[in-house]
Structure 1
Amino acid sequence: MVDGVKIDGICEDNHHDNPERCEVCQLTKSKRQISRRTTGTPYGKYGRIHFDLVQIDPGYNGDRWMTHFYLEGVRLHAAYTHEKKNGCQDAVGQFVAPAKKQWNLPIRAFRYDNERSAGRTVEDFLSNEGFIIEHSVVGTPEQNGFAERSGGVVITVARTLIDDAGLRKNLWPEAVRAAVWIINRSPTKLPDGRWIVPYQEAFLNEPQQPVNLANLRIFGCRAYVRKQGIPNAAKMEPRAEIGYLVGYEASNIWRVSFPRRGAVRSVRDVVFDENVFFNARELEEEPVSDILESTPWAIGDEDTDQGTTEISQDIPQPVGNTADSQGTEPQSLAKPSKEKTATSQPAEPQQMISPSSTPSVQPVQASEPHTAPPDHDSQDQLAKQLQRELSADDEEAEEGILAAFTTGLNGSNTHTRTHRDELPREPQNWREMMNHPFNEGFLAAAGLEVKTIERKGTFEVIQRPNDRSIQVLPLKWVFNYKFDSDGYLVKLKARICVRGDLQKLFTASYPRCPYGPPVLALVVAFDLDTHQFDAVNAFLNSTLDETVIREMPEGFRQSGYCWKLLRALYGLRKSPRLWQREASNVLTKLGLTVVQEDLCLFASDGIIVYFYVDDIIIVNHPSQRQRAAEIREQLNMTWELRDMGEAAWFLGIRIVRDLKQVALWLCQNSYISSTASRYHITTHRRFDTPLAPATLKPYAGQATKEQIHEYQEKVGSTQYATTITRPDAAKATSTLAQFLTNPGPENLEVINRVISYLYHTFPRSHLLAAPIR
């Protein structure tokens, strides 16, 4: 140190006088250190993308999340909505592909927070595509300010659109996309003072080229949409239906919501009235006029899903019918069996309700039974349907032909009906059901379900046990739509089930691959007769062999009370085994012998009885018709059965038979269509083959639990179809099954390709034929 020199500005090394050195101060007064410096654009105005994940209440289509992208240089937005949180992984792929190949944006970097749902999958994908990845520090959303603030702008505009139009808040997925469309075409001022239009700046080749706003209409205004496929005979049917504008797709394509059906569709032929907007009272004045006015909803016992749309013309034209063909009518209109014992309690008629009924959660009073309409669904009409493979690119022709065919099935019924593709997602629990557009129908169905199982002596109401060692587990509600043979809504179903995740495991009582198709092959080869029954609430015929105590179901609970189950409920792990034991005892007493390779298959001299859960098929040689009739009568006296006539549907498989050609077709078009809809793959591109030539390789990274679960579900869904009726894709599902434990992004893309291939070729069917005798 130099003597006599004083240096100012240096604090004494004393932590008591310097708060920066005070440990107590640092521990108790820590603050955010936010930088006010601008981020800058080191990658150019098109170079960096910010994206973020936003959670929102469930939408009309089940979506709960929005993945938002923001191109900071030109203030361009893009948004994708999805049901599951890990759907952001697909959203990134859906954004990157067109950004590189269609829009030719020179993107160099992606910036996002450490969102766990994105995980390694998104990071690996972006790295493989050559992008620079920038992360914000955990817990510092300020460092991801562009994404946070721009996402807030999109949400604010979407909320404003819905509120101003008076539409339901669950339409937010459509409002978000409309908000992005509007913001991208609205002028915005840059920090340097220039005004730009983001869409014009990003996509148009010439900056001065104006943006086309010819399709811009006021969000939420009334839309008169031209109806498609009105039958020629329906001269007095209105030519348009009322909806409300919720989105913009192209210069002459709009997204329109139909509140009375809870559906949103893309339409072209539409006239707008920008002075009229949605009023919730419309639903009260004329409720759901488009849903089965002449074939009202029914609520009642177990049904087999008979939804389908079309079958391939590759199948030859059948020309013969069975002698006693009964056809397939909606099960909600099926006549109850007349053969009952004198001591059995007569089944109450199914309650028919319209969407405008006001149900109560109290037990529902059954109305008078409706007379079933004349049977128009003959085998000859089914055979004609097989010849109609419709062009995937001609939507008007497709809807017209299907509507004409439906008119033939329903005779004079010319009312518009609701197809499965237009319905909102089924409610997953009681709370969702109460907020569902069809909550009144489901409430009535729930009331009838409780009344039905009470009539069958399924439970006993007891006081809640005081012994804490006795576990009282909850029940759950399962709500389903039921459809006719063409996929149109005919019935709402509510069922009380036991939660399977809270039970001990039992060995399955049913074979994994049902023996139904081999039995049907024998039917064709030996010209056998078939007759099908549906066991109403099959499991309730089984008596429990142990004490089972459960909570009362939601909506019907009483304080201090619970249910002691006396009979097997659906969802109870022991129910299939108990029902199999009950059915085996009855069939054995009738002189039938079980086939050891399949405990659900019984045989006698010239007679085969095959049952799978509640589906029962009786097959007999023509020489044994009298004996088969006696067995049917005995079964009908023992259980409550619904007579389905000649076998036309079994385990979701449609059966079409031609006696003259000695042929039978097995079709799973309805199952494939519903599977594609479930996974939102109906709009994916069409593929000519289920697999690409490239060889699949094991994934080097680690898939998340959500990805593994999704992949396993999709592979399992496709295997059921490819095992029975679609061997052309069997090799593909077998190959993909090798990656069940750790699927990668490529595997997920390929399984989506397989489902898309099956969906776009779902008219194809499996032919069983014998030499013409």
Structure 2
Amino acid sequence: MIAEGYPLQESVLLDSGATLHIFRDTKRMKSLRAAPIGDFLWSGTTQVPIDGYGEARIILKSGDGSPTYLTLYNVALCTALTTNLVSFSKLRKRGYWWDTKPGNNCLRRADGSYLGEVEEINGQQVLEYRTSYEPAATVRAALIAEVSSKPRQRKQHTSWTHRRPLKGDSLTWHRRLGHPGPEVLRYLTTASRGVRIKGDTPQGPQRITTVNCDACGTAKAHRLIRRAPREATARARPGDRIAIDFHPLTLGYAGYTSVCILTDRASGYSWDYYLTERSTPTLRSMIQSFLRMLEVQYSIKVKVIECDNEIIEIHTRVADDIRERGIICEPSAPNTQAQNGGAERVAAVIIEKSRAMRIAAKLPAYLWPEIMKAATYLYNRTPSLRRDRKTPYEIFHSASREPGDPTAKPDLAHLRSYGCKAFALTADTQLRRKRLQKQAPRAWIGFLIGYTSSNSFRIWNPLQKEILTMRDVTFNEQQHFDGHIESLRDDLLQADLEAIQKRIQELISIQEQPSQWATQLPDEEYEEVLNDEDRPCSDQLAQQDASTSEEDQHAKLPPRGEEGDGSASEYTTSRFEVLPTPPPSPPTAFFHAEAFGLDVKGRGGSVGGNDSTPARRRQRISFKAAFLAGGIQAPKHKHQSTCQIMTDGVATPVSSRAGGGRNKPLLPSQYKGKKQHIVGIHWSLLEKLPSSHMQIKSHPYRDAILKAEKAHLQSHKQSNSWEEVAKSMARGRQILGCHWVYTYKLDKHGRLVKIKARLVIRGDQQDKDERDTYAATLAGMSFRTLVALANRFDYEMLQYDAVNAFVHATIDEDIYMEMPMGYRKKGRILKLRKALYGLRRSPLLWQKHFEKGLIRTGFQRVPGEDCCWLHGDIIFFFYVDDCVLCFPETMKKEATKLMGDLQMIYHIEGGQPLQWFLGIEVIRDRPTRRLWLSQSVYVDKMKRLLPDVMQIPNKVIPMTQEELLPYEGIASPGSTNSYQRKVGTLMYAAVMTRPDIAFASSRLARFNQNPGPLHHKAADRVLWYLLQTRGHSLEFGSEPGSEEDGLQVASDASFGDNSLDRRSSQAFTMRLFGGITSWKANKQDTVTTSTTEAELLALSQAAKEALFASRLLSAMKIDLSAPTARRGTAQPSRVTIECDNKQTIRLVKEELIKLRTKLRHVDIHNHWLRQEITQGRIDVVYTSSAQLLADGFTKALPSDKFELFMQRLRLADLSEKLVMNRRRELEEEL
């Protein structure tokens, strides 16, 4: 407790001992709610009652005195205290930290950026100082006035003077320079101009190592190889010796597939050239252009070219050209790559640097050409210890300038944190047009991706997938691309779509004007500190308050500009010249395929000039695949080449100073009247569908989408889904919004059948009530049981789809909805009659309606499984609107009649043999009575979750035997989200068709809230394992009368194997007709005191599941009591459970043995098991651990035992069969 009259009672103190935020005045609280009775906190030895909880906002003082808002949630209100406390412990958990280094005393974010000042007043650390209560607006105004009252100094730096030195701490300069080595920053200020590093010590700036920077740690791991330099290198002058090295990469931006690094051995200065192919004519053009550039620009004649054997042995004409110029060509010895020395080491450093830059900036991998351009630019300007702390730029340019010339040193004052947010001026602002539109945005948002000069920047627009060279740019180095395109949409407030599409074309034609130096944003920000684990934690910039409509949020950024005239020099232009038009951007289907683990082939282009076939349109990509689907790109004109720049039949390479030409898009008006023949196109060649109705206007499939919308509305009209009423009828009622969702309907070969449009109501806006919304869905265990049964008795399995399922159900309440976008009428709304997609209760209403239809046609529900119905020997099961009908061949006529009766009530399509269900491929060999369930396509998509660089495990097993322990640090929100996505993806495979990863997935799921690097590594290992075994499929099938022709259950436990809480792992498996139908691997809810108790709990869990399966089979009239399984009885048969602990078996079966335990719940399980055994419902038998199937679900097995475990699971490798199926489908199509 603090005494009355305390001078800081209205201030806010930072308390390192408080466990929650505490405020004393209700005037400072928002969203205040009463505290539960009895809540209190300790102040010394005194209990202080908590009066309530709510939110509070404080105002921090930034470095220049401007205000920064900090919002606190779940703040305790204690009126008995006489000051306000902010818990440092809570701040630390959200990633904020207290910098107490001499001269700092401030709060910082997780990335080290400055948040707010901490002042020491009266011996306390004060975040916000107030002498009396004042409204927040008054405090903010006072801070601003304090800053404004300071005398303004005359600007010492204008657009006519040299740029002022750029300040930043060591970590910021580490990012600006593209993640250089640890020693670079110590001598950066002496090796370059325009650099000021904050926090310098007498020994230099703070040392930044790979330990401090995650991006460097993950990007720069390498083998240690000693490469001694050639003797002649030490005597060479700049330009005498040039080393050449080639590096192939995946297909990247602008169609590039490889990079050539040319390095001056004397200085280390490098040039980078990007190639779409590595043919002899292309390499000749590149080298001739490079040599001519050195001679013209620097009067340098190369004497020696070092290269590998590719030029000597494969491209002999290139080697001849080099020798004809009098240049010595020095190849490395065969099979001794390390002799390449300089070029390969420099290239490795540049690639490492680019990799670290991409990881830190979270940029898509396909942008590697632009990232490597920037990495090379920064490498040439980074000092090196082995070059006497000089930069390659200085060493190279000093040779051609007067001694002491200061311009020989690189100027770094224009560098910014790589990948940071950039605000580029619009064309209207630059050209002073539309000046009456005062509220129009003056800039568009992008991200820094490279440099063309000291005042020209390369800016990436992720929504348009465009990279533009801009001069008038403002940067915010505190914000970077977060990997989520949706977060950008609120920033893109553009007015007219056609104006947007014209904007970049006009920008390209603007002539260079006097430079206006790039500036940084002011520091006034809004911050939020959240205590609730389920709330997001984000830094929010104070931006405009105006809310925007859905149409504004989906507005596009400027598209591509005019295409060049196609004329190009025979040779590749140098880095310092205007280059010809680069190749068009690669098809986005490549990125889609790369993200989902598919093989990608290069696009072929016409080398000659006779092929007039137009290039294919930009291919479709999933929104989740690294944000690579840009805006609108029209079909290319027939005179354009498909992939490369063609000059006299030669594909011309383009160096890294590519600018200028782009493909010209069609404007919305140009789409009118064009016929769209898209039916039959493969899905990989389709355009990305619009995300809102407003985007249809400029979409190439506009007519087809509008036709789909009208067809969908017509179907609603036929089903009487709503009635149009006046808006006044809904006075006092909630009116829900709606939006359009567009999808492609494909055939089994992936060809487009039609475009589907669906109107979805905004159920998330609907008020919650107490009515039930739960709708049953088919369990995975039930699905596997049903397909195993159908395979055993050779049933037909036909799949159906209920079209517009929800709309069949009538709603039982008054719900009003806005009219659909594009079809709205003033003053009119819709009153719903049917359940639309999106309503909270629609699934339940549909299920009840569908059940009535099934009962009307004669079906009866299977007890215990609401989604499975019977009509004699005919089985019908469904998952929402996906339906499967199973029946014996002898009952085909009756089954057809039943489906006809259902189709009279509902719109149900289909009737083909079952091939896919819930993303699971069903493969059947009826002559041998074998059936497989495969998720190979689903597993293929997991490749996008793997890191770009990972250590490949030595053995193909999902998990090592080393126990995973909790992470002692605090995981970032991004790391946590990434880990949860990995585990969630693994879980679906683990519970559906891949029991081999059940134990690994269960273990990984325990660390969802705070994963560390070891947990990510373990998850990546399981993902890699699945990709290596993607063809493994769950097999069903047994010989009639064999041991497998029935139900086998096994349970197991691993006593006290979790070292943290000593709870045991348990598991059970269930096999039916030769295939695994049910399994579970989990940790027991309580600690047990012996192996017997642990096995007893596992046995109880298995018995409950086995009894459910037995009742399900009995309800479906399956008799397992006879030597051969048959149909006809409705009595559950006794279930036999295998166990590897003899003491546990004796405990539940013998009368003389009693369990001595003080654990009541364990004793209850024991008595229940004895009861079930006595009544003959279950039996327990002994099986050794080596033969027990459940053993592999309780522990990580070594590779030899894991192979045996896989054989018992009957996971068959169908890789060849799956490939043959794909080929057969393709042949059928052709």
Query: Where on the TM-score scale, by shorter chain, does this alignment land: which range?
Result: 0.5 to 0.7
Counterpart of 2:759 (choices 453, 472, 496) is 496
Specify the alignment match of 2:1223 in structure 1. Answer: none
SS in 2 for 1:583: helix
Tell me how far apart the structure 1 counterparts of residues 613 and 732 of structure 2 sit (CA, whole Å).
Answer: 63
Letter in 2 for 1:220: P
Letter in 2 for 1:508: Y
Q: Deviations over 1:93-122 (max 9, x none)?
A: 4554233537569x99xx99xx9999xxxx
Are 1:222 and 1:242, in contact at CA under 8 Å, matched by a contact in 2?
no
SS in 1 for 2:963: coil
Tell me how far apart the structure 2 counterparts of residues 527 and 478 of structure 1 sit (CA, whole Å).
Answer: 40
Are 1:535 and 1:616, in contact at CA under 8 Å, matched by a contact in 2?
yes
Specify the alignment match of 1:384 in structure 2. Answer: none
SS in 2 for 1:556: coil
The structural deviation recorded for 1:465 is 3.4
Specify the alignment match of 1:673 in structure 2. Answer: 940
2:914 is the alignment partner of 1:647: yes
SS in 1 for 2:777: coil
Tell me how far apart the structure 2 counterparts of residues 277 and 116 of structure 1 sit (CA, whole Å).
Answer: 27
Cα distance change of structure 1 residues 279 and 559 upon mapping to structure 2, 3 Å threshold: same
Are 2:735 and 2:818, in contact at CA under 8 Å, matched by a contact in 1?
yes
Specify the alignment match of 1:444 in structure 2. Answer: 707
Are 1:224 and 1:240, in contact at CA under 8 Å, matched by a contact in 2?
no
Tell me how far apart the structure 2 counterparts of residues 685 and 556 of structure 1 sit (CA, whole Å).
Answer: 55
Letter in 2 for 1:650: F
2:549 is the alignment partner of 1:280: no
SS in 1 for 2:794: coil
2:880 is the alignment partner of 1:613: yes
2:870 is the alignment partner of 1:603: yes
Q: Deviations over 1:715-760 (max 9, x none)?
A: 3333222211222222232222222334445545544554454345
Measured on the aligned residues, the alpha-carbon RMSD in Å equals 5.7
Cα distance change of structure 1 residues 579 and 714 upon mapping to structure 2, 3 Å threshold: farther
Counterpart of 2:222 (choices 101, 113, 121) is 101
Specify the alignment match of 1:328 in structure 2. Answer: none
Cα distance change of structure 1 residues 685 and 154 upon mapping to structure 2, 3 Å threshold: same
Counterpart of 1:221 (choices 563, 583, 590) is 583
Tell me how far apart the structure 2 counterparts of residues 693 and 751 of structure 1 sit (CA, whole Å).
Answer: 14
Are 2:936 and 2:1030, in contact at CA under 8 Å, matched by a contact in 1?
yes
Specify the alignment match of 1:768 in structure 2. Answer: 1036
Tell me how far apart the structure 2 counterparts of residues 602 and 431 of structure 1 sit (CA, whole Å).
Answer: 44
Cα distance change of structure 1 residues 238 and 596 upon mapping to structure 2, 3 Å threshold: farther
Q: Deviations over 1:318-350 (max 9, x none)?
A: xxxxxxxxxxxxxxxxxxxxxxxxxxxxxxxxx
The structural deviation recorded for 1:676 is 4.8
Cα distance change of structure 1 residues 47 and 427 upon mapping to structure 2, 3 Å threshold: closer
Q: Deviations over 1:388-424 (max 9, x none)?
A: xxxxxxxxxxxxxxxxxxxxxxxxxxx9x5444x666
Specify the alignment match of 1:61 in structure 2. Answer: none
Specify the alignment match of 1:571 in structure 2. Answer: 838
Specify the alignment match of 1:629 in structure 2. Answer: 896
Are 1:442 and 1:494, in contact at CA under 8 Å, matched by a contact in 2?
yes
The structural deviation recorded for 1:601 is 0.5
List gaps (5 residues or longer) in structure 2.
Answer: 1-141, 157-162, 193-211, 224-347, 364-411, 423-447, 471-572, 591-599, 604-609, 619-627, 637-641, 655-659, 1042-1230
Counterpart of 1:559 (choices 826, 838, 844) is 826
Once structures 1 and 2 are overlaid, which stretch shifts more, 270-279 or 540-549?
270-279
Q: Deviations over 1:224-258 (max 9, x none)?
A: 9999699xxxxxx989974799xxxxxxxxx9999
Cα distance change of structure 1 residues 146 and 487 upon mapping to structure 2, 3 Å threshold: same
The structural deviation recorded for 1:598 is 1.6
Tell me how far apart the structure 2 counterparts of residues 239 and 693 of structure 1 sit (CA, whole Å).
Answer: 61
Are 1:223 and 1:272, in contact at CA under 8 Å, matched by a contact in 2?
no
Specify the alignment match of 1:583 in structure 2. Answer: 850
The structural deviation recorded for 1:620 is 1.1
Cα distance change of structure 1 residues 282 and 764 upon mapping to structure 2, 3 Å threshold: farther
Are 1:50 and 1:146, in contact at CA under 8 Å, matched by a contact in 2?
no
Tell me how far apart the structure 2 counterparts of residues 490 and 763 of structure 1 sit (CA, whole Å).
Answer: 28
2:768 is the alignment partner of 1:511: no
Are 1:711 and 1:748, in contact at CA under 8 Å, matched by a contact in 2?
yes
Counterpart of 1:758 (choices 1026, 1033, 1043) is 1026
Are 1:538 and 1:579, in contact at CA under 8 Å, matched by a contact in 2?
yes
Counterpart of 1:147 (choices 409, 412, 416) is 416
2:166 is the alignment partner of 1:30: no
Cα distance change of structure 1 residues 663 and 481 upon mapping to structure 2, 3 Å threshold: same
SS in 1 for 2:833: strand
Specify the alignment match of 1:362 in structure 2. Answer: none
Are 2:459 and 2:469, in contact at CA under 8 Å, matched by a contact in 1?
no
Once structures 1 and 2 are overlaid, which stretch shifts more, 427-436 or 643-652?
427-436
SS in 1 for 2:464: helix
2:728 is the alignment partner of 1:465: yes
Q: Which has the larger radius of gyration?
A: 2
Cα distance change of structure 1 residues 693 and 439 upon mapping to structure 2, 3 Å threshold: farther
SS in 2 for 1:547: coil
Specify the alignment match of 1:207 in structure 2. Answer: none
Q: Deviations over 1:4-40 (max 9, x none)?
A: xxxxxxxxxxxxxxxxxx9998554237999999579
Tell me how far apart the structure 1 counterparts of residues 614 and 215 of structure 2 sit (CA, whole Å).
Answer: 33
Tell me how far apart the structure 1 counterparts of residues 586 and 1012 of structure 2 sit (CA, whole Å).
Answer: 46
The structural deviation recorded for 1:637 is 1.4
Percent identity of paired positions between Structure 1 and Structure 2: 25
Q: How does 1:132-171 map to 2 (within 5 A)?
A: 146-148=415-417, 154=449, 157=452, 170-171=464-465
Counterpart of 2:175 (choices 44, 50, 56) is 50
Q: How does 1:28-427 map to 2 (within 5 A)?
A: 28-30=148-150, 49-50=174-175, 93=214, 95-101=216-222, 103=348, 146-148=415-417, 154=449, 157=452, 170-172=464-466, 218=580, 220-221=582-583, 242=615, 272=651, 279-280=663-664, 355=676, 417-420=681-684, 426-427=689-690
Residues paired across the two proteins, number = 513
Are 1:661 and 1:772, in contact at CA under 8 Å, matched by a contact in 2?
no
Letter in 1 for 2:149: K
Are 1:667 and 1:764, in contact at CA under 8 Å, matched by a contact in 2?
yes
Using the size of structure 2 for normalisation, the TM-score is: 0.35
Tell me how far apart the structure 1 counterparts of residues 463 and 456 of structure 2 sit (CA, whole Å).
Answer: 11
Tell me how far apart the structure 2 counterparts of residues 146 and 174 of structure 1 sit (CA, whole Å).
Answer: 17
2:1006 is the alignment partner of 1:738: yes
Are 2:617 and 2:634, in contact at CA under 8 Å, matched by a contact in 1?
no
Tell me how far apart the structure 1 counterparts of residues 144 and 585 of structure 2 sit (CA, whole Å).
Answer: 66
Tell me how far apart the structure 2 counterparts of residues 701 and 600 of structure 1 sit (CA, whole Å).
Answer: 45
Are 2:869 and 2:875, in contact at CA under 8 Å, matched by a contact in 1?
yes
Cα distance change of structure 1 residues 527 and 555 upon mapping to structure 2, 3 Å threshold: same
List gaps (5 residues or longer) in structure 1.
Answer: 1-21, 53-67, 76-90, 119-142, 177-210, 231-236, 246-254, 288-352, 358-369, 371-414
